[in-house]
Amino acid sequence: MSSKKDKAQKSLTKEEELLLQDFSRNVSTKSSALFYGNALIVSAIPIWLFWRIHQMDLYQSGILFAVGTLVSTYLVAFAYKNVKFVLKHKIAQKREDAVTREMTKKFSDDKKMTRKERDERILWKKNEVADYEATTFSIFYNNAFYLVLLILCSFYVLKNFSPMFNYLMSVGLAAGLLALFSTSNK
């Protein structure tokens, strides 16, 4: 009797785990590494612009660039996580039918699988697909938005300010606005 209870507890725990993962904003270590890596790359790219076009010296402004890049990396990664969380549920709803169809077709020949196991696998696959698409779209959307904001701030709004002030404010504003807009729930 105790073994049955354990099994039931185990399957509940698995579902609970999946639900927790679904509704929590926390990302896995792999996702986190992906987000921070991409954020670092996209935050480092503007250094080229400021070096070549605003004529800032790389060595003299090295510390400034490092600080700006780190702050921007944190804020952009924060934006990635938020946008991914909001998108995941929308995408999951859209992909539900197609994923169910594909998985049902895949497991139709397997007579040994129980209905519950099949549903679990479909749920897991749906979660995986939604997670993947939300991650990739979040990275693309936030990168594009960040670069547009940065170029607007640096070359239009702050055009006549000194290069150092321009860099700090452009990167700060772009990353800050990105993080701010990512906190909206729509």
Chain positions 47 to 106 lying near other proteins, rule: CB under 8 A, are: 48-49, 52-55, 94-95, 97-99, 102
Nearest to other proteins of 1, 156 (CB atom): 156
Please, is 6 exposed, middle or buried when counting C-beta atoms within 10 Å of its C-beta (0-12, 13-18, 19+)? exposed
The two three-digit tokens of residue 57, written as one number: 């010296």
Smallest distance from other proteins to CB 5, Å: 37
Chain positions 148 to 177 lying near other proteins, rule: CB under 8 A, are: 163
- The C-alpha angle with vertex 71 and arms to 65 and 73, in degrees rounded to 5, equals 95
Q: What are phi and psi of 44, to 5 degrees?
A: -85, -25
Verify binding: residue 129, other proteins, rule CB under 8 A. yes
Please, is 147 exposed, middle or buried when counting C-beta atoms within 10 Å of its C-beta (0-12, 13-18, 19+)? middle
Q: How many residues interact with other proteins (rule CB under 8 A)? A: 27
Binding site for other proteins (CB under 8 A): 38, 41-42, 45, 48-49, 52-55, 94-95, 97-99, 102, 129, 132-133, 136-137, 139-140, 143-144, 147, 163
